[in-house]
Chains A and B, each alone.
Chain A
Amino acid sequence: MDLMAVAAADGAGATMAWTALLGLAVALGFITVWTMFAVWLERKASADFQSRLGPMYVGRFHGWLQTVADSIKLAFKEDIIPAESDRTMFCIAPAIAFCGAFAALIAIPAAAGWQIVDLDLGVFFIVAISSIGTIGVIMAGWSSNNKWSLLGAMREAAQLVSYEIPVSLALLVPVLVTGSLRLGDIVAFQSAPFGQDPGLLYFTRHGSLLLYSPWTLVAALVYFTASLAECKRAPFDLPEAESELVSGFHTEYSGLRFSFFFLEEYTMMFVVSAIFVLVFLGGWQPLAPLPLCIDLGDGLLAKGVYVAVFLVKCVLVLWVQIWLRWTLPRLRVDQVMTMGYKYLTPIAIVALMLAALYCYHGIRYIPGIV
């Protein structure tokens, strides 16, 4: 159900436009619901970690409508634009930041063949397009006409740009192992059957790339850590902490413009979780990362189950991200840079080298077996 392929086969430009709009609607709708759920989960999970309750009031059951109420509140706030600011840039910056993260959604499959565009360059596209958000951050900091915002934006941009490197290198390891940049192919590699005639439930050769080999395990950990920095979360939220203490790049934003940055953060969290699930945790297979695979066929119900499993796994990864955020103290900016350049990048390079040696020069790590 690749919408754009269907449209392209049809040939008509109008059909492509309509399917593009449909894809956009699906992605927007999903990301809105996801953000509401993710914010609620963050508040409840952080409350549970801190022996308190979190939202309990709005919406009868444990305040599940709290985010809706907060969004409505943000929508009604006064739209303040600083007097000496660059108005055009100020207004566009949150949109660019959000679109950079949002555009990555089109290449993410939720079940076999179910994505908005089936890109052969899936991994590459996602890494590239999500780095456009950095420009939004810099624009926001510059156009605020506020030296603290500018400093926060510069630090933020440095962090984001620096951690692109370990993200890309870590993602190159599964690409090497699998031989394809397409996300669907990477998931299919993980659920490839062991024997000849796979039944309903069969052993896979690989299960998940997390447990496949030492270098993919290292790459998974490096990717998870670096992606936390990409989301400006967990121990790498110095720019946001600045906004709590002094200010940050989005200090001059209020109301609906601020909600764009908020949306952008949670969209990036989804993209990052989705990539981690697809590439390292076996994607939509229910029993992955165990080396067991359930083949439910191609029906609509099967695809529905796969989508549900995928979303549950994304939520689990999200929960681990929240867990890390409320466990670890914040890193200083020089510690952030040290970690990015001196630790994560060399480790990712070593993992990549080992993967390359294994894949192309046949050096086995368990001779004769794998």
Chain B
Amino acid sequence: MLSYTRNILDSLKTSIAGMRITLRNLRRPHTTVQYPEEQLTLPAGYRGIHTLDQDICIYCFQCSRICPVDCIEMDAERIEKKFLSWKQFTVDYNKCLFCDLCIEVCPKDCIHMDRREGSAKFALITDDRATLNLDLLAYRGLSEADQKNVAKVRAEAAAKAAAAQASAKEAGGAQAPPAG
């Protein structure tokens, strides 16, 4: 009889205790982040999709060489020995490990996995693997500043060449009469 009444009282007590817990949980705010309208706040060291600061890159190949899975392909042409005309900078996200080595090794700090502002991009949704070979270039060929620079250098070179030719002509003309 005693255990019977104890059972009844226990069941009532535990039910009410449980319901209090659930009720307390009612007052807690929800933890859902309604993606994609809201974004998760990513931690500071989060490694997302790369961004390349194309103007700073010196085409040293360090990132491509250190990549453990060889997923960085880059191709550019040096114009006037100094300026880069970009053709390709792709990272193959089929292979990329997000290991951070290419960021660590870059001497000019021009490649990032965009964790600087906590805005790292992590959505790689596709139904075709070929589209995961992402091109990071913002523009192809020379940058606008570089185009002006190249033009300036070429103009200076042309001017120098013209001046040299003119002086060579003079020098050549001065030399000419003794032969005749």
The interface of chain A, by Cβ under 8 A from chain B, is: 47-53, 56, 323-324, 326-328, 343, 347
CA separation between A48 and B31, bound complex, in Å? Answer: 10
Q: List 18 A-B contacts (CB under 8 A).
A: A47-B30, A48-B26, A49-B22, A49-B26, A50-B25, A51-B28, A51-B29, A51-B30, A51-B31, A53-B30, A53-B34, A324-B15, A326-B22, A327-B15, A327-B21, A327-B22, A343-B4, A343-B7
* B8, closest chain A residue (CB): A343
A328 touching B30 by the CB < 8 A rule?
Answer: no
A51 contact set on B, CB distance < 8 A: 25, 28-31
* CB-CB nearest 3 A-B residue pairs: A327-B18, A53-B32, A327-B22
A53 contact set on B, CB distance < 8 A: 30, 32, 34
B4 contact set on A, CB distance < 8 A: 343
CA separation between A327 and B14, bound complex, in Å? Answer: 10
A31 to B: closest C-beta gap in Å: 28
B8 contact set on A, CB distance < 8 A: 343, 347
Say yes or no: is B145 at the interface (Cβ < 8 Å to chain A).
no
B29 contact set on A, CB distance < 8 A: 51
Residue from B18, B21, B34 having most chain A Cβ neighbours under 10 A: B18
CA separation between A56 and B33, bound complex, in Å? Answer: 12
* A48, closest chain B residue (CB): B26
B23 contact set on A, CB distance < 8 A: 323
List residues 130-160 of chain B with CB under 8 A from any CB of chain A: none
B18 contact set on A, CB distance < 8 A: 327-328
CA separation between A56 and B35, bound complex, in Å? Answer: 12
Say yes or no: is B40 at the interface (Cβ < 8 Å to chain A).
no
* A346, closest chain B residue (CB): B4
The interface of chain B, by Cβ under 8 A from chain A, is: 4, 7-8, 15, 18-19, 21-23, 25-26, 28-32, 34
* A52, closest chain B residue (CB): B32
CA separation between A347 and B11, bound complex, in Å? Answer: 14
* B15, closest chain A residue (CB): A328
CA separation between A179 and B15, bound complex, in Å? Answer: 33
Residue from B19, B29, B31, B34 having most chain A Cβ neighbours under 10 A: B19
B26 contact set on A, CB distance < 8 A: 48-49
B7 contact set on A, CB distance < 8 A: 343
A50 contact set on B, CB distance < 8 A: 25
B31 contact set on A, CB distance < 8 A: 51-52
CA separation between A52 and B22, bound complex, in Å? Answer: 13
A215 to B: closest C-beta gap in Å: 15
* B12, closest chain A residue (CB): A221
* A50, closest chain B residue (CB): B25
- Asked if A323 meets B22 with Cβ closer than 8 Å, knowing A52-B31, A53-B32, A328-B15, the reply is yes
CA separation between A51 and B32, bound complex, in Å? Answer: 8
* Contacts A51-B28, A52-B31 known; 6 new A-B pairs at CB < 8 A: A51-B25, A51-B30, A51-B31, A324-B15, A327-B15, A328-B15
Residue from B4, B23, B26 having most chain A Cβ neighbours under 10 A: B26
A49 touching B25 by the CB < 8 A rule?
Answer: yes
CA separation between A294 and B81, bound complex, in Å? Answer: 95
B30 contact set on A, CB distance < 8 A: 47-48, 51-53
A347 contact set on B, CB distance < 8 A: 8
B161 to A: closest C-beta gap in Å: 69
Residue from A49, A324, A326 having most chain B Cβ neighbours under 10 A: A49
B18 to A: closest C-beta gap in Å: 4
A80 to B: closest C-beta gap in Å: 29
- Asked if A324 meets B25 with Cβ closer than 8 Å, knowing A51-B30, A53-B30, the reply is no
CA separation between A52 and B32, bound complex, in Å? Answer: 5
B22 contact set on A, CB distance < 8 A: 49, 323, 326-327
A47 contact set on B, CB distance < 8 A: 30
B135 to A: closest C-beta gap in Å: 34
CA separation between A71 and B25, bound complex, in Å? Answer: 30
A122 to B: closest C-beta gap in Å: 30
B21 contact set on A, CB distance < 8 A: 327
A48 contact set on B, CB distance < 8 A: 26, 30
B19 touching A324 by the CB < 8 A rule?
Answer: yes
B5 to A: closest C-beta gap in Å: 11
CA separation between A48 and B25, bound complex, in Å? Answer: 8
A49 contact set on B, CB distance < 8 A: 22, 25-26
* B31, closest chain A residue (CB): A51
* A53, closest chain B residue (CB): B32
CA separation between A53 and B32, bound complex, in Å? Answer: 6
B19 contact set on A, CB distance < 8 A: 323-324, 327
* A338, closest chain B residue (CB): B7
B7 to A: closest C-beta gap in Å: 7
A239 to B: closest C-beta gap in Å: 21
